[in-house]
Amino acid sequence: MPKTAHVDEVELSYTEGPDNGPALVLLHAQHMDWFSYSSVLPDLSKRFHVFDIDYPGHGTTTVPPSYPMTADRIGADLATFIQQEIREAVFVTRQFLRRPPHRMDSRPPP
């Protein structure tokens, strides 16, 4: 069942599995949502504490009309989510078709 986290001006939708190991953040491809990982969630949840996130503008995550859909902003919001909700080091994996992962690995939130 999806949960919601308030991250700045975003209502970020995500699913969370049981705490069965290190935190693993799953980021879906463009035009998808958290459900794109549904076939692997049961297996991943056996070894990881899975957080499966809907990007801003996707799934049930909501943003205001003025939200800047940029890699830097989305990356900053994802980094804030990790600091605010997970509060530990995480593994991050992303499905991507054309674009590389968002820049969030070394930048603190604004």
For 80-98, what is each residue's pLDDT tens digit? 999 999 988 777 765 544 4
Q: Give the count of beta carbons closer than 10 Å to the beta carbon of residue 12.
A: 25
Tell me the DSSP string of 19-77: --SSEEEEEPPTT--GGGGTTTHHHHTTTSEEEEEPPTTSTT-B--TT----HHHHHHH
pTM, full prediction: 0.77
- The more confident residue out of 100 and 9 is 9
Question: What are the chain's domains?
Answer: 3-94 (3.40.50.1820)
**Confidence label for 107 from pLDDT (cuts 50, 70 and 90):** very low
C-alpha distances in Å from residue 19, one per residue of 23, 77, 82, 86: 8, 23, 15, 11
Average model confidence (pLDDT) across the chain: 79
